Amino acid sequence: MLKFFNTLTKEKEDFSPIKGKKVCMYNCGPTVYDDVHIGNLRSFVFADVLRRTLEFNGLKVKQILNITDIGHLSGDGDEGEDKMTRGLKREGKPITLKAMQELAEIYTKRFQNDLKELNIEKPTKMPRASSHIKEDVKLIKKLEQKGFTYKTSAGIYFDTSKDRNYGKLGGLSENHEAQIERNSEKRNGRDFALWKFSKSEGLGFKSPWGKGFPGWHIECSAMVLKYFSNFLDSFGVNLRIDQDQSAVIDIHTGGMDLIPIHHNNEIAQSENATGKHFARYWLHNEFVTMGTDKMAKSEGNVFKLQDLKEKGIDPLSFRYWLLTAHYRSPISFSWEAIEAAQTAFEKIKNQIQSIKNKGKISEKYLSQFKEAVNDDLNTPKAVAVLWEVLKDESLPAEDRKKTILEMDKVLGLGLTTLKKESVTIPSEVRSLVEKREKARTQKIWPEADRLRKEIEAKGFEVKDTEKGPVVKNL
């Protein structure tokens, strides 16, 4: 039985889809004003493992991962500068919609390349916020008709006092400060913008309320309702969300930082518009930290995937490192930790590569693995089971390989596509290998160890086999 920790109920619950074996899942995507850092990427690796686990259990997943290319302000509580505008200023581009779209295209492609390098499966769709203005307007109109909105000089706001259940995700109190924007025109401190009026002539979209931008929160609700129901197409009294359907979608994911504001606002506007629960299960991943601090652009302590690559770290080694911690636990970044993970991952790859054929799956180990991932995505335990298989010499090598490749359908480490690497060995390294082999033959172990370290210092490792030494890149 699949079990997930539901942020909404604060309990680990059995998972069952709303409809048969079909799962509807929405993942909050990036705001593409800059490169995504590795802290952000944890959310997408987590969502990918979640999807793979659902599919591993025979379920069919419809996955939407959005791209935010408008509407996200620097402060999540509707204050500060628009992030895309900030990106335009940083790169010296004109403050126009065209330039904003060009900037978004650059960083969307870079984000998609990061997903590819991390072996993250393509979502069913990756819709862009800027392509759904019509849906945003329809949803705001519906809320307006039902009496949940009011107008200020800054825009159209949602009146949270009209929602008795506001803040139920994470159990927020009425005076929860994280949401409060210092705006004297707001009726309540926690009210949030559905539509923000444009402050620049060159920016904005037309709407019944004036030129401007949709709020960051309304964009996600509109895209969920568009791609997982016909609510926005059949706009009006007769909702086309099935009457026996307990919620619009099965699963909604994101980082822990999205709980207080963004996700509570999504719930409020969606549920009051449709009269249906928004999502049955809410899953949130913890942060990548730098010491005790969250990794974030605002803290100035971020690393990007490219930074890791420049240090010789394989993106899949980074993915492996993330899997060694539970998604609901913080994971502390250090170069030593990443390098140790890469060394461990290389050992797995090398052993898999050395086995020519695939045998039979060990049902014993696969059962242990499935039990781990089905228990709220316990990837540290799942990785530990993989290592048990790798070390179990009572199991034929071919069976070990077949079992691990089956596990990799969930872990996504790319083990099924490994190719035999051709290593170009410099003559000086070959000479050191020959000297070391001679020392080993003569059982001069201190000299053999010294030469091995010298070989490693030059970026190579030597492994002793029955057929002689094998040299590989570190």
Q: Render pLDDT for 159-182 as a digit per residue (tens, 0 to 9).
A: 999 999 999 998 765 655 444 455
Between CA 5 and CA 286 the distance in angstroms is 13
pTM for this entry:
0.85
> Does residue 421 surpass a pLDDT of 70?
no
Question: Does this chain's domain 16-285 share its CATH topology with 290-417?
Answer: no
The pLDDT value recorded for residue 150 is 97
pLDDT, mean of residues 112-122: 97
**81 phi/psi in degrees, rounded to 5:** -85, 150
In the chain, what are the domain boundaries?
16-285, 290-417, 427-473
Superfamily of 290-417 according to CATH: Isoleucyl-tRNA Synthetase; Domain 1 (1.10.730.10)
Q: Render pLDDT for 368-392 as a digit per residue (tens, 0 to 9).
A: 999 999 999 999 999 999 999 999 9
CB 402 within 8 A of CB 361: yes
Name the band, by pLDDT with cuts 50, 70 and 90, for residue 244.
low
| Domain 16-285 class in CATH | alpha beta
The pLDDT value recorded for residue 175 is 57
Burial readout 328-355 (b: 16 or more C-beta within 10 A, e: otherwise) = bebbebeeeebbebbeebbebbeebeeb
User: In the numeric block, which tokens belong to residue 378?
Assistant: 């316990």
Which residue has better confidence, 314 or 170?
314
Instruction: Give CA torsion, residues 375, 377, 378, 379, to 10 deg.
Output: 150
User: Which residue in 181, 200, 178 sits closest to 191, CA to CA?
Assistant: 181
User: Which residue in 153, 133, 26, 13 sits closest to 71, CA to CA?
Assistant: 133
> Does residue 231 surpass a pLDDT of 70?
no
Mean pLDDT over all residues of the chain?
89
The pLDDT value recorded for residue 180 is 47
The letter for the amino acid at 133 is: I
**200 phi/psi in degrees, rounded to 5:** -130, 135
Helices 38-56 and 363-374 sit at what angle, rounded to 10 degrees? 120
- DSSP letters, 167-221, are TTTTT--TT-GGG----TT-SSTT-EEEEEE-SSTT--B--TT-SEEE-HHHHHH
Between CA 248 and CA 245 the distance in angstroms is 7
Which residue has better confidence, 430 or 210?
210
